[in-house]
Amino acid sequence: MSVESKSVLENVSLSNTRLRTIALYAGLYGTAALFLIPYWYMFATSFMTRDLVYAEVPYLIPWDVTLYWYEYLLTNSLIVQWTVNTVILAGITTAVVIAVDAMIAYSLTRLDWPGRRVVFAVIVASFMVPGIINLVPVYIIASELGLVNSLWGVVLPSAANPLGVFMLVQFFKDIPEELEEAARLDGFSRLRIFTHIVLPLMRSALAALGLFIFIWTWNAFVWPLLIFQSDAMYTLPIGLVTLQDNLGVTEPGVIMTSAVVASVPLLLVFLVMQRHLVRAVEMQGTTK
């Protein structure tokens, strides 16, 4: 072996650290690929012809592409109306939860009033109560208030979300009180301090909470099913289940296409909001 060949081999030789790094990335990307394969198969199946869908060998890449299943959903269901209903419901619920939970969390951390520790303890203890227990009493209250088959019948019971209050309380505690004291010296009212100083500092935390609430509301099934009584008011999870029941037979193309329609908006929302989610985790992880 020549001297030049030896020098080339020495340059490409891998140290133990580099080998561990390569193995780590290979394992991470391999695991990610395993998680992505079912989603890719769902997406690919939605564009397959009936022959490819029912083929004995599954295809990950359709060589014959069609929009038949999307056209079928558009013409044989109210999927457009269900999608609009879901977007409106998730958007309104997210806005209401953020506004109400932010005010509750601020009052628990910044305002001095008797019993606030007890109230916070009750909020934390509510995590131990299964949500299914509250269905009957909350439904009776909604029915008495005339909120059945109404959008607000789904939104209002979710307004004071214990998870959101608990999450925001932790973030509010990390905001220095000196900022509010300086603002009060400048003549700021309590409301102006809350809206112009505290909330802008909580932008990432509020965005993270909004992302969680939006996804949770988008996927909600049981409570909207109890409240909404007409097909035109159904959300996507309810509408797609009733659609499959009305078909009478299992159509993989319809099921996969409906799953794509229901999941793609959530993916887009997550891609837009992931920066704020990461920022919120960093803020909470670096606080002392």
Rounded CA-CA distance 260/265 in Å is: 9
Q: State the DSSP string of 165-216.
A: HHHHHHHHTTS-HHHHHHHHHTT--HHHHIIIIIHHHTHHHHHHHHHHHHHH
pLDDT at 250 over 70: no
Question: 183-195 burial, b for 16+ CB within 10 Å, e for fewer?
Answer: beeeebeeeebbe
Separation of CA 98 from chain center: 14
Beta bridge partners of 48: 65
pLDDT in tens, 102-141: 998 888 888 888 888 888 888 888 877 777 888 888 899 9
Coil/strand/helix, residue 65: strand
Q: Phi and psi of 77, rounded to 5°? A: -155, 175
Q: What is the pLDDT of residue 133?
A: 83
Comparing 84 with 56, the larger pLDDT belongs to 84
Q: What is the pLDDT of residue 85?
A: 92
Q: What is the pLDDT of residue 76?
A: 80
pLDDT in tens, 264-278: 888 888 888 777 666
Q: What is the pLDDT of residue 95?
A: 93
CB atoms within 10 A of CB 49: 16
Give this prediction's pTM.
0.81
pLDDT in tens, 18-43: 888 888 888 888 888 888 888 888 88
Q: What is the pLDDT of residue 281?
A: 63
CB 221 within 8 A of CB 236: no
Tokens 């988008």 -> residue: 218
Count Cα neighbours of 224 within 13 Å in the Cβ-side half-sphere. Answer: 25
pLDDT in tens, 148-189: 888 898 998 888 788 888 888 888 888 888 888 888 888 888
Domains and CATH numbers, the chain: 14-68 (no CATH), 79-286 (1.10.3720.10)
